[in-house]
A and B are shown apart, each in its own frame.
Chain A
């Protein structure tokens, strides 16, 4: 089955800096890679996703890149703000299968 590794487990940045979270996956047939933001005591919220026919996708301060050859994808957050502080999960799936999640990254943005 699919295995998703996520790094780092914690990330502390200063407000205004950029943050990068990386994930690798094992199943070369995976074709859908979403990123979720989870605030304390709440459910995960989809913030951006990318499919295997695209190498990069951007939405304002958030971008995701995908390297299918190396089987890794990354989340980039620019101009971080304190409200970006949360746990971020990457995930991967293929076809109509279930999502396999990474273990999460706790991002702390200090004012």
Chain B
């Protein structure tokens, strides 16, 4: 159980275009999903936290108009990189937490396999 998928696994796009990355929890309902960015040989950097049906909370320094996050259902969150530029090239990883506070909530995060974005 607790499987998270991401699509696509790799994407190459031209500068100025927008790219959408999907994150799905396959066998559980994810009340909260997280989006991370990871540069080579570095740790995971949290970009934003999203709860189903509400606006995402972005970390300091992350442009909300550039990285659009939608968490429309308990199993799907999307990250759209708008007007992508070469400096946006990175490994984007989502994670999901299940449960609700007071009802078996855990702060475990289950990670997706990641999406490699290359902007030319």
Mark A residues whose CB is within 8 Å of B.
32, 34, 36, 41-46, 49, 89, 93, 95-99, 101-104
Contact = CB atoms under 8 A, between A and B. Distances in A.
Contacts of B74: none
A45 B4 CA distance: 11
Contacts of A32: 107-108
B98 to A, nearest CB: 12
Contact of B111 (A43, A97, A102): A43
Contacts of A95: 107
B44 A44 contact: yes
A11 to B, nearest CB: 15
13 contacts: A32-B107, A32-B108, A34-B109, A42-B113, A43-B95, A43-B113, A44-B93, A45-B111, A46-B108, A46-B110, A89-B44, A101-B43, A103-B43
**9 cross-chain pairs, A with B, having the tightest CB-CB distances, nearest first:** A43-B111, A43-B114, A43-B113, A44-B111, A101-B43, A103-B43, A43-B93, A32-B107, A43-B112
B111 A101 contact: no
Given A32-B107, A34-B108, A103 B42 contact: yes
Interface in B80-120: 93, 95, 101, 105, 107-114, 116
B67 interface: no
